Structure 1
Amino acid sequence: MVGLLSEPRRRRILDWIQEEGAARVRDLAAAFQVSEATIRQDLERLEQDGAITREHGGAFLNSVPTQVGTMTLHHQENMDRKRRIGALAASLVEDGETIILDAGTTTTEIATRLTARRNLTVITNALNIAVILGAVPGNAVHMPGGQFKAPTLSLSGDKAAEYFRSIFAGKLFLATAGVALDAGLTYPSFADLQLKEAMIKAASRVYLVADSTKIGKSSFTRLGSLELIHAFITDDGIADADAKAFQSRGIEMLIAG
């Protein structure tokens, strides 16, 4: 992150806070390799823009109380694409299967379309997904421990990662902030990397679910290369050249029209 200009850095800082719900000055300074004074100036500017509120030693996302109170997720853009992806992904799940659902808006769309399935075993770190599928008679829903992340209504951290290291599932539906041929799978902060690694190792088949606006984008931290996934479920906004490039890496492409 050395040499990152102020505006790109502020966008990454806001992405971080939108993912985590809050951030501390010292953590941001270490991650972006700038002084704490510089981070305080960045947070002051972001506060002026109205998205965050500064507090002693850090800042928090303004929308958190409303989101938690209404059990809604922060990222609500491109929902039509996400609904189509959710429907296609849900069609791959049969009654009685054991699956892992990552937290996120796209995976939530999968969950809402699995309520007609029966006798599922669902392992998820997302509280909203646990509520959706736990309400279906016959389903067994399991959750890890960990630290609560308000914007994604999820549990994260070392305890959550350790939980997934002791289970096995047939399918994982994995979310991402960005997916690119060179950068691979990327996320706004460090918090979930170990958790997602553990989820991937716990599943026999990994489906990446991401709308086409995330293709070619990279976020702050890198989970790993595309070889971590077996299949990529996206929408028909993907360019033909991109679809062929992913297929050339041995990834099955599933396009939701």
Structure 2
Amino acid sequence: MIPAERRDYIYRYVHERNMVSINELAAELDVSHMTVRRDIQQLEAEGKVVSVSGGVRLNDAVKQELAYSEKASIHHNSKVAIGLAAAELVEDGQVIYLDAGTTTFEVARGIARKANLTVVTNDFTIANYLMQYPQLTLFHTGGLVDVRNRSCVGQAAATLLASLNLDLAFISSSSWDLERGMSTPTENKVMVKQALLKVARRRILVSDSSKYGKYGMFRICPLQALTDIISDGGLAEETAEQLRGQGLQVRLVGSA
């Protein structure tokens, strides 16, 4: 494994566990502690991780999201549980939006066999999957293609969304908390998500608990702009109660 591949592996590994030791990484990669420390120094210089005593953890400031293919297997069980819970909210005949992401893909799996739904998405993987179900009416937003995340972003996508009336919008996020709201490291995603907030009757964040407490450079909205949050049992009950105190409907499913 060349150094760049090894650093990518370390970043994914830490992303899945949030914090790991130098010893664990050295054993996992079968390399020296010094090699791991050099890789961590590089990742830290890129703003992706933070060194702690004897180990490394994710940086709360999200500089770059993992690519779609890399995110798919991380916290998979939680994403499946969140997707199934979200699908329970969807009624036949509704117009819904599925934001780009691996958790919203699990929502797509949950709603695929419902009748007489209209589904709007900016995610190519979701659109490709739902094409198998002819009882659904399917729209893709179009727009600037984000190859890394297999989706469309930017003004063209936002303009299409602004012309719609949606019953439910299932919104993904790499970073959210009460203090800084929902945010992203990617500027072109902001206008798409903000457009959703204006046109959806019910605005539902679907995001596993590992994303809570993280923040990106670009602020999308305070959490109070949402109506619901569906996450997993890794989110502290105290935090869930604080969110409910802000008027949000919060459901925690499965485990982190």
TM-score by length of 1: 0.73
Q: Does 1:11 align with 2:48?
A: yes
Shift of 1:18: 4.3
Shift of 1:151: 2.3
Shift of 1:145: 2.1
Equivalenced residue count is 201
Q: Distance in 2 between matches of 1:73 and 1:89?
A: 22
Q: Does 1:148 align with 2:155?
A: no
Q: Does 1:172 align with 2:209?
A: no
TM-score by length of 2: 0.73
- Which residue of 1 is the match for residue 69 of structure 2? 73
- Which residue of 2 is the match for residue 39 of structure 1? none
Shift of 1:143: 1.2
The alignment partner of 1:99 has SS state of strand
1:82-97 map, 5 Å: 82-97=79-94
- Cα deviation 1:24-71 (Å, max 9, x = unaligned): xxxxxxxxxxxxxxxxxxxxxxxxxxxxxxxxxxxxxxxxxxxxxxxx
In structure 2, the gaps of 5 or more residues are 1-42, 50-58
Percent identity at matched positions? 31
User: Are 1:179 and 1:218, in contact at CA under 8 Å, matched by a contact in 2?
Assistant: yes
- Cα deviation 1:91-145 (Å, max 9, x = unaligned): 1112221101100000001101112211110010011111222221221101122
Q: Distance in 1 between matches of 2:202 and 2:193?
A: 14
User: Are 1:74 and 1:151, in contact at CA under 8 Å, matched by a contact in 2?
Assistant: no
Q: Distance in 1 between matches of 2:129 and 2:241?
A: 35
Would you identify which runs of 4 or more consecutive aligned residues in structure 1 move more than 4 Å? Answer: 12-19
Shift of 1:73: 3.2
RMSD: 2.1
The alignment partner of 2:111 has SS state of coil
Q: Distance in 1 between matches of 2:180 and 2:221?
A: 8
User: Are 1:227 and 1:249, in contact at CA under 8 Å, matched by a contact in 2?
Assistant: yes
**Structure 2 counterpart of 1:252, from 243, 249, 256:** 249
- Which residue of 2 is the match for residue 115 of structure 1? 112
Partner amino acid for 1:147?
A: L
Q: Distance in 2 between matches of 1:234 and 1:89?
A: 10
Q: Distance in 2 between matches of 1:172 and 1:123?
A: 9
- Cα deviation 1:175-208 (Å, max 9, x = unaligned): 0111111000011211110011011211001000
Measured at CA, do residues 169 and 8 of structure 1 come closer, stay the same or move farther in structure 2, by a change above 3 Å?
Answer: farther
